[in-house]
């Protein structure tokens, strides 16, 4: 089947979206950005194709065997991927042990690492069997990484193979796992999944159809930071502003203003009724108030990024934070804590400060017209969205504010739409 691909190389994550002939969304993929942009693009695209194939088999399997089977199949697929990556990680670490661990410790190191990996494998399999597992990040690095850290801490011996040494081995090799092209594709993993999740003729037929479907990429468009290094000719690269505007418009056809707070930049975009950008402002010279800033704050407080929002929501008193400078984030935080301010209140003030910056940018770009769409990583932060709703209402009155869980794909979606429009024109 003919398809159209959009790829958005962000500073933190790379996204891909695959559209069908009627510009319907077939699949989406996301991966951590890394220094090799070609690879990031490739991995994201592969992920998108995987979900595309899952979309293809979805209907059939669901009809034939029900939602639960489908879900189990998907999770089995992911498990197969994870186990393959764990094997790869293990192999790389063993090689690294030969290279860099002193001879006296090598056996012990090997034993510990293999033990850790085996435990993670067991945990992953147990998670697969768990009907309602706790939510977690989809990325191998995050899931496997936190498990590895935890086990390394438990099993590291200060006098022998220490926690630091175990972590060092992981750090050296994880990049190798991520930077490898996915050798084993959909067919392999879905095969394993079928073994794991159980087999019925209807399911197998659906899977076979999905596996053998030919996905013909008619046109690709790339965008995002570092997009000049995408393996596309210049004509197939589109500004991330335009992609973002078009993508947001596709998700919310009534939108006229779009705010994107990403890892290290903020964009305020006005679009017309066709999704064409009419004006924009960017804040990309300094990462103050962007995702990265929140990352520093989370690190300082020793909590996860996703915990910032809920904690801030517990605030009962507003604290005015005047600067969202990343350089001083730590110092400002420490001073306020030392003055007796509560974490919740500081965080609340902080989120308001971030949104205030965004409000200025929006004012520069032409204000907030109905409907207003908020995208980017920071849009997933409940305290940020709360502050935004408050400030929008205070200054622009009542506006419809769109916040979608899928907003991280906005740029890639817009790029794919460009690919579609241009190919079909």
Partner 1 sequence: MSARAAIVDWARACYEDLRFSEARRWLEGGKGRKACGHLPVYAPRELVHASGMLPVGIYGGGDMLEIIRGDAFYQSYICHLPRSVVELAQSGRLDFLSGVLFPSTCDVIRNLSGMWKVLYPGLYVRYLDLPQVPDPGLATRFWKKELQTLVHDLGEVSGAPADEATLRASLGVFNEMRQLIRELYRARREAPWRVPSEELYLLLRAGEVVPVEAWLEKTRGYLKAAERDAAPIKDRSRVVVVGAFCEQPPLGLIKTIERAGCYIVDDDFLLGNRLLSREVPLAGDPLTNLAEALVRHAVKTSVLYEPNPEGKKALMKERVEAAGADGIIFAAASFCDPALLDRPMLRAGAEAHGIPCIAFKYAENSGQFQQFREQAGTFADAIKLWGGISA
Partner 2 sequence: MSEVQKDRSMVIQKDMIAEHYRQLEAAPETGDPVVYTFVPGNLTELIRSFGALPVLPEINALQSGMRGKSRDYILEAERSGHSEDVCTYVKCDIGMLQSGNIGPTGTRLPKPDLLLLSYTGCYTFMKWFELLREQYDCPTVFLQIPYQGDGTLAPEHRQYVVDQLKAEVIPALEKATGRKYDEERVRHYLSLSAQAEEDLVAVLHSAKRKPSPIDAYFGAVYYVGPIFSAFRGTEEGVAYYRELRKEVEERVARGEGPVTPSGTLNDQKYRLVVEGPPNWTSFREFWQMFTDEQAVVVASTYSKVGGVYDFGFRHDPKDPLGTMADYCGGCYTNLNLPSRIDMLASYIKDYAADGFLIHSIKSCNSFSAGQLMMLREVERRTGLPGAFIESDLVDPRYFSAANIRNRLESYLQMIEARRQGRPA
Q: Write out the residues near partner 1 by the rule CB under 8 A.
A: 285-286, 320-323, 331-332, 335-336, 356-357, 359-360, 363-364, 391, 394-395
With CB under 5 to 8 Å by kind, the binding choice for 322 among partner 2, partner 1, none is partner 1
* Interface residue with partner 2, options 239, 369, 371, 382 (CB under 8 A): 239
d(CA 13, CA 285): 20
Report if residue 225 touches partner 2, rule: CB under 8 A: yes
Report if residue 276 touches partner 2, rule: CB under 8 A: yes
* Interface residue with partner 2, options 158, 183, 233, 274 (CB under 8 A): 274
Q: Name which of 138 and 273 has its Cβ closer to partner 2.
A: 273
With CB under 5 to 8 Å by kind, the binding choice for 278 among partner 2, partner 1, none is partner 2
Report if residue 279 touches partner 2, rule: CB under 8 A: yes
With CB under 5 to 8 Å by kind, the binding choice for 332 among partner 1, partner 2, none is partner 1
Task: Write down the least CB distance from residue 257 to partner 2, Å.
Answer: 15
DSSP string for residues in 325-345: -HHHHHHHHHHHHHTT--HHH
**Near partner 2 in 347-376, by CB under 8 A:** 364, 366
Report if residue 126 touches partner 2, rule: CB under 8 A: no
Question: Do 189 and 81 meet the contact criterion of CB atoms below 8 Å apart?
Answer: yes
d(CA 288, CA 306): 19
d(CA 249, CA 423): 20
Report if residue 23 touches partner 2, rule: CB under 8 A: no
264 CB contacts (<8 Å, ≥6 apart)?
11, 284, 287, 290, 291, 292
Task: Write down the least CB distance from residue 346 to partner 1, Å.
Answer: 11
* Interface residue with partner 2, options 41, 161, 242, 287 (CB under 8 A): 242
Strand segments (E) across 257-345: 257-261, 266-271, 277-283
Burial group, residue 62, by CB count within 10 angstroms (0-12, 13-18, 19+): middle
With CB under 5 to 8 Å by kind, the binding choice for 310 among partner 2, partner 1, none is none
Strand partners, 149: none
CA distances from 31 to 11, 141, 395 (A): 11, 10, 37
Which of 155, 79, 87 lies closest to 118, judged by CA? 87
List of residues contacting partner 2 (CB under 8 A) = 225-226, 228, 238-242, 246, 274-282, 284-285, 364, 366, 417-418, 421
């Amino acid at each position: 089947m003919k398809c159209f691909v959009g790829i958005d190389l962000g500073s933190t994550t790379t996204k891909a979206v695959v559209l069908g002939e009627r510009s319907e969304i077939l699949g989406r993929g996301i991966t951590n950005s890394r220094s090799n942009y070609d690879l990031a693009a490739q991995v994201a695209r592969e992920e998108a194709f995987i979900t595309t194939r899952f979309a293809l088999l979805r209907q059939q399997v669901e009809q034939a065997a029900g939602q639960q089977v489908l879900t189990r199949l998907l999770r089995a697929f992911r498990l197969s991927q994870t186990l393959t990556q764990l094997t790869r990680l293990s192999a790389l670490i063993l090689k690294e042990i030969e290279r860099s661990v002193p001879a006296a410790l090598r056996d012990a190191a090997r034993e510990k690492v293999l033990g850790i990996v085996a435990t993670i494998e067991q945990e992953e399999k147990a998670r697969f069997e768990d009907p309602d597992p706790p939510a977690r990040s989809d990325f191998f690095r995050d899931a496997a990484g936190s498990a590895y850290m935890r086990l390394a801490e438990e099993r590291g011996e200060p006098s022998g193979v220490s926690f630091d040494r175990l972590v060092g081995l992981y750090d050296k090799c994880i990049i190798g796992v991520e930077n490898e092209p996915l050798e084993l594709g959909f067919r392999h993993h879905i095969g394993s999944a079928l073994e794991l999740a159980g087999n019925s003729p209807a399911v197998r037929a659906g899977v076979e159809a999905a596996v053998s479907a030919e996905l013909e990429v008619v046109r690709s468009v790339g965008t995002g930071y570092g997009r000049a290094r995408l393996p596309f000719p210049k004509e197939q690269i589109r500004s991330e502003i335009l992609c973002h505007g078009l993508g947001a418009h596709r998700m919310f056809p009534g939108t006229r203003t779009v705010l994107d707070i990403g890892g290290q930049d903020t964009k305020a975009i006005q679009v017309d009724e066709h999704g064409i950008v009419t004006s924009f402002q960017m804040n990309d010279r300094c990462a103050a108030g962007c995702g990265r800033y929140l990352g520093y704050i989370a690190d300082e407080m020793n909590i996860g990024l996703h915990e910032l929002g809920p904690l801030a929501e517990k605030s009962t008193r507003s604290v005015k934070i005047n600067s969202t400078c990343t350089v001083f984030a730590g110092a400002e935080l420490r001073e306020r804590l030392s003055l007796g301010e509560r974490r919740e209140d500081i965080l609340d003030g902080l989120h308001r400060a971030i949104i205030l910056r965004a409000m200025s940018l929006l004012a520069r770009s032409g204000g907030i017209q109905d409907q207003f769409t908020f995208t980017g990583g920071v849009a997933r932060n409940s305290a940020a969205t709360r502050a935004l709703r408050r400030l929008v209402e205070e200054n622009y009155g009542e506006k419809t504010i769109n916040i979608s869980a899928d907003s991280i794909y906005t740029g890639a979606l817009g790029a794919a739409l460009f690919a579609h429009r241009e190919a079909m024109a």
